Structure 1
């Protein structure tokens, strides 16, 4: 009989899959190291088990102890599976930008999940780095994993992932490409492959808001490069000890939008239902191809970290994509600009209503402009900036009728008016345009709608 003693025995030996549709213009053979076949659905299972076993061996992790780690979700999952089998408690400290699915999955496998804000400095006591360290000092019989600086991270990939890639390609691999976060995968795999063949090129995929690319190229840690980004699992605002920059030949940066768009394209065009970093990785590969990095006869291996089920509420959700301007939709006429909220009623105010009514409506619906109507139609407009100026001049305006403070009515366009024409009507003096939907119905287009379309 062929079976594993427990779920940990299924870690590793993941398949290599030839890519086709998305890489049709790449002259090389492109193979995907498909890490979602690990039991925790990510490459992080490998290093999670290695880090635990090494900590057990040297006494850092004692029987019945508590494992504490700051994670984007996948390392936490791998640690949690090992904790279940080995009898440890698990506390995952995670940033609030990570998907709800990741948090729910961690709780489903028995982990305690502590959520921290994303947009803070690493040294801030609220950051997930700081909270992880604090909890490890406050919790008896605990071990802080610290995947960023833990050498067992890269060791796992040197001992398993790298050799698997070498054997599966029969030593013909010429390029290795992977998104870089903690640095364990690229450094461990890269070290092994270069020991077998020093000519193998190792490329890291970075994201905007991260420091890796510039630091590798200049040796400068530029804090001006650090800002919040959406892409999960890659990029850092610190320099983890696991990132061996000497192993890496170069980096390419991928935008949040491209990462999200290509994550969806992998599913629809390759049948590969993968996570956010996979979109970054394949887009990074295509960018490197545009730079002429690959040729006929090359064997390019790109590693895909995790599974798409952890991003159903994000990259695979049309509303989420649309809100961020990531959904590739054709927007050509006025009606296209409002199609996402065309079912919502137009908020208006009557000429005889009080200014205070308009202010209340702005607050309630979180809007900045309101058309003014009477029995004849649209006769004016109210803008929050105009109301503010009027209030400074006269504190009693709240009890005045709207007709005494309203501005000119917004221009009205047809539903089929080209966006270029609509845009010309948005000026410093005029912040909105009304769309005539017929049957006496109108909707509003604001600067925000135009900017979102751009």
Structure 2
């Protein structure tokens, strides 16, 4: 009989799968190392086991102890599997930009999940780096994993992932492409492959808002490069000890939008349901295609499963809200199709300005049309109100007709965006669309900007 003693025995030996449609413009043979076949559905299972085993061996982790780690979700899942089998408790500290699915999955496998804000400095006491360290000092019989600086991370990939790729390609691999977060995968695999063949090129995929690419090229840690981004699992605002820059031949950066779009393309064109970093890796690979020759064998690693991102990259509304959904925006109604069903908020000429302010606050809008029995006769926007208030502190008690501006221009349904844009001026902040049957909707500058792709 063939069976594993427990779920940990199924980690590794993940398949290489040829990519066909999504990389058809690439001259080389492109093979994906699909790490979703690990039981925790990510590459992180490998290093989770290794880090725990090494901590057990040298006494850092004691029987019945509590494992504490800051994670984007996948390492936490790997640690949870080991914790279940080995009898440990687990606390996962995660940033609020990570998908809800990741948090729910961690709770489902017994982890306590602590959520921290994303938009803070690494040294901020609220950051998930700081909270992880603090919990480790406060929790009796605990061990802080620190996957970023724990070199067992890279060692796991040196001992497992690298040899697998070498054996699966029969040593024919010429390029390895992978997203870089903690740096364990790229450094461990890169070290093994370069020992086998120094000519193999190791390419890292970075994201905008991360410091890796510039630091690799210049040696400068530029804090101006650091800002919030959507892509999960790759990029950093620190320099983890696991990132061995000497092993990396170069980086390319991929935008949040491209990462999201290509994540969906992999599912739709290859039938491989993988996560956000895989989309970034494929788009990065396409950006690097000038480096590949027809006889080359390029291996790209897919970190995790698309199931972690069902509410994000695989959700049309989420994609549309961020301008990531590739839909043609050509006519007036295309710009506001997400809220076409909402009623047009208006005020009447005889109402008080305070009523308009209350309505604008309630509906979180900056412009509002003014009507009377004949139709649209004026408009109010925040700049009108601001100027009126500077001139008269009692503006709120005046009738709207005394301070309103000119009515917003009205265009027909089907009007081209090119014809609408010139209607926005310093004195005019919105345009009304006549939808027919007496219905109108408003387009603002924000709507036009939001439609830019």
TM-score with structure 2 setting the length: 0.99
Summarize the alignment of residues 365-404 of structure 1 with structure 2, pairs less than 5 Å apart: 365-404=363-402
- The structural deviation recorded for 1:389 is 1.6
- Supply the distance in 2 between the matched residues of 1:128 and 1:338 (Cα, whole angstroms): 37
Matched, 1:96 2:96: yes
Matched, 1:358 2:346: no
Question: Secondary structure at the residue paired with 1:60?
Answer: coil
What is the match of residue 36 of structure 1?
A: 36
Matched, 1:272 2:272: yes
What is the match of residue 448 of structure 1?
A: 446
Matched, 1:189 2:189: yes
Summarize the alignment of residues 233-252 of structure 1 with structure 2, pairs less than 5 Å apart: 233-252=233-252
- The structural deviation recorded for 1:415 is 1.1
- Supply the distance in 1 between the matched residues of 2:96 and 2:426 (Cα, whole angstroms): 37
What is the match of residue 148 of structure 2?
A: 148
- Supply the distance in 2 between the matched residues of 1:84 and 1:252 (Cα, whole angstroms): 38
Summarize the alignment of residues 96-175 of structure 1 with structure 2, pairs less than 5 Å apart: 96-175=96-175
Question: Secondary structure at the residue paired with 1:436?
Answer: strand
Stretches of 4+ aligned residues off by more than 3 angstroms: none
Matched, 1:209 2:206: no
Gaps of 5+ in 2: none
What is the match of residue 79 of structure 1?
A: 79
What is the match of residue 423 of structure 1?
A: 421
- Supply the distance in 2 between the matched residues of 1:58 and 1:14 (Cα, whole angstroms): 29
What is the match of residue 412 of structure 1?
A: 410
Which of 338, 341, 346 does residue 340 from structure 1 map onto? 338
- Supply the distance in 1 between the matched residues of 2:239 and 2:425 (Cα, whole angstroms): 45
- The structural deviation recorded for 1:399 is 1.6
Gaps of 5+ in 1: none
Matched, 1:295 2:293: yes
Question: Secondary structure at the residue paired with 2:394?
Answer: helix
- Supply the distance in 1 between the matched residues of 2:208 and 2:225 (Cα, whole angstroms): 8
- Supply the distance in 2 between the matched residues of 1:311 and 1:357 (Cα, whole angstroms): 42
- The structural deviation recorded for 1:20 is 0.2
What do the CA deviations read for 1:411-430 (whole angstroms, capped 9, x no partner)?
Answer: 00011111011111111111
- Supply the distance in 1 between the matched residues of 2:95 and 2:207 (Cα, whole angstroms): 17
- The structural deviation recorded for 1:51 is 0.2
What do the CA deviations read for 1:32-70 (whole angstroms, capped 9, x no partner)?
Answer: 000000000000000000000000000000000000000
Question: Secondary structure at the residue paired with 2:327?
Answer: coil
- The structural deviation recorded for 1:25 is 1.0
- The structural deviation recorded for 1:388 is 1.7
- The structural deviation recorded for 1:392 is 2.1
- Supply the distance in 2 between the matched residues of 1:378 and 1:157 (Cα, whole angstroms): 67
- The structural deviation recorded for 1:385 is 1.6
Question: Secondary structure at the residue paired with 1:395?
Answer: coil
TM-score with structure 1 setting the length: 0.99
- Supply the distance in 1 between the matched residues of 2:413 and 2:448 (Cα, whole angstroms): 15
Question: Secondary structure at the residue paired with 2:98?
Answer: coil
Aligned residue pair count: 452
Matched, 1:228 2:207: no
- Supply the distance in 2 between the matched residues of 1:9 and 1:385 (Cα, whole angstroms): 65
